[in-house]
Amino acid sequence: MKKARTAVIVGAQWGDEGKGKIVDVLSENFSVVARYAGGHNAGHTVIINGKKFILQLVPCGVLRAGCRSVIGNGVVLDPIAFLKEVAALRANGVQVDGSLFVSNRAHVILPYHRMIELASENAPGRVKIGTTSRGIGPAYEDKMGRRGLRVADLLDLKLLKIHIENACREKNMIAHALFNSEPLDPDKMYQEYAEASAKIAPFVCDTAALLNRALAEGESIAFEGAQGTMLDIDHGTYPFVTSSSATSGGAVTGTGVAPTAIDTVIGVTKAYCTRVGGGPFPSEILDAIGDLLRARGNEYGAVTGRPRRTGWIDLPLLRYAVAINGISWLVVTKLDVLDEMAEIPVCVSYKIDGKTTDDIPAHASGYDRIECVYHRVPGWQTSTQGITQMGKLPKAAREYLAFLEKESGARIGMVSTGPDRDQTIFVDEFVAELRTLTGQKGRALAEH
């Protein structure tokens, strides 16, 4: 049997780490890119020769000719959002037919999921999570409650009609009783989703079988995460989290491959920190420097446009992410955003009730007692944008990266120095491992 050649690419912070660009850069080296969690609340921005693509459901591999893209069973799929995204890709000349596949076991988001989430998030007395109100959470609730609709069911129009009628009867009553929401029309919903069903059908297959065949044939697969470690439903800053397994373990349950098929885990971290929405953020910057980072980093949500909160890099959280995910390699993005800083504070540990600790609180209120312990490193105050060789970075920038590597416990394999594909540094040892994983596939590796 041929050896599996796989990598999981996961966010090591609160999402928005720049995974889209990194998956896009690395996808040249893989035969398949498979998305394993989340929904169209994720926003992966990819810039190719100055042209911007924003992907929400479709894996970044779709932008590479010859690379197959898979939406796995762990994803919740909004059919209307999916078809809109596919239409935009086609309009931009991207080949999707025959190269994009949707799991027949993925669960479907329907309008009542959005209705419930929006009403719930805005209900009096509710602690606001900061969701995108796209129905992601309620769709996962229905999945775990064993009352969800899967893509396979979406294609069975008789079953679809019965499901929508029963669900609308129940959800309309709940939404009216709890939130005084207007009822949804099941007949109108059925017509819309029956039409969507016919358009989605050509993309649908048993993607677990597809992926396992690819592994058996020695093809290389990249598993694309959505959101980040600290938004994971089990391991994140609960309840201010997403509703799925955003960590590397989700790649197994979210696609149907065996745990033994995973060869390496690549974690993506910004050179600083950001977070969207509510919830704990120990190293948050609440002054003008935070505004400067937001402006320089263009820190606004790719999906919602919401301004992101900004902070210094948090090493206790990064070490936690390395441990939870089994991260071997780190990719550091947006190094160039720090170019103007004379000094860069790094959170190296926490103090809780006066005691130094690296422990991550289980309870959200535990973060309120955290006092960050900072180590200040010199900035470089010169442009790093577009640099593609580690040796050409300013000495202080290299020292900053070396400090992060030493303190995080994972090796740095790549550094992003700008938003475009080509504004990337590859480290020799990382390239050597990728060559082993992918059989030297990809121009970037050949040229390195």
**Two tokens, residue 191:** 């017509």
DSSP string spanning 159-193?
HHHHHHHHHHHHHHHHHHHHH-PPPP-HHHHHHHH
- Report helix, strand or coil for 211: helix
The kind and range of the H/E element at 83 are helix 79-91
Q: Which of 379, 79, 80, 38 is nearest to 236 (CA)?
A: 38
* Rounded CA separation 219/207 (Å): 15
> Would you give the DSSP letter of residue 417?
-
Residue whose tokens read 């149907």:
256
To which residue do tokens 């535990």 refer?
Answer: 366
What tokens does 110 get? 């329907």
Distances (CA, A) of 271 to 90, 225, 231: 34, 19, 18
Amino acid letter, 53: F
Q: How far is residue 331 from each of residues 89, 212, 341, measured CA to CA in Å?
A: 27, 27, 21
141: tokens are: 């609730």
Whether 44 is a known active-site residue: answer: yes
Q: Which of 40, 44, 107, 163 is catalytic?
A: 44
The widest CA-to-CA distance across the chain, in whole angstroms, is 66
As annotated, the active-site residues are 16, 44
